[in-house]
Amino acid sequence: MNYLTQQRRDALSAEYVLGTLRGSARVRFKRLILQYPAIRSSVELWEQHINALGTQLQPIAPDPIVWEKVKQRLQFDGANLASEQAVATNVVTLPLKSNRRWKGLSLLASAAAVVLAVLLVQLQPIPVAPVQQFTVMQNEAKESLWLIEITQQTLETRATQKVTQRAQNDYELWMVPTGGQAPISLGLLPQSGVASIAKHPQFDQIDIAALAVSLEPRGGSPNGAPTEVLYVAEIAIL
Task: Give the interface with another protein as residue ranges (CB under 8 A).
Answer: 10-11, 14-15, 17-20, 22, 26, 44-63, 65-67, 69-70, 73-74, 76-77, 80-84, 87-88, 170, 181-182, 184, 187-188, 201-202, 206, 218-220, 222-224
Residue 106 C-beta: closest distance to another protein, Å = 20
- When the beta carbons of 60 and 167 are compared against another protein, the nearer one is 60
Residue 67 C-beta: closest distance to another protein, Å = 6
- When the beta carbons of 62 and 125 are compared against another protein, the nearer one is 62
What contacts 24+ positions apart, CB below 8 Å, involve 35-41? Answer: 36/3, 36/4, 38/4, 38/9, 39/3, 39/4, 39/9, 39/12, 39/13
- When the beta carbons of 70 and 112 are compared against another protein, the nearer one is 70
Measured at the alpha carbon of residue 199, what is the angle toward residues 127 and 227, in degrees to the nearest 5? Answer: 145
Sheet holding 208-217, edge to edge: 184-189, 169-177, 208-217, 228-233
- When the beta carbons of 88 and 112 are compared against another protein, the nearer one is 88
For β-strands 194-198 and 154-159, DSSP reports them as antiparallel
DSSP assignment of 134-188 equals EEEEE-TT--EEEEEEE-SSEEEEEE-TTSPP-SSEEEEEEEEETTSPPPEEEEE
- When the beta carbons of 72 and 104 are compared against another protein, the nearer one is 72
Judged by DSSP in three states, 55 sits in: helix
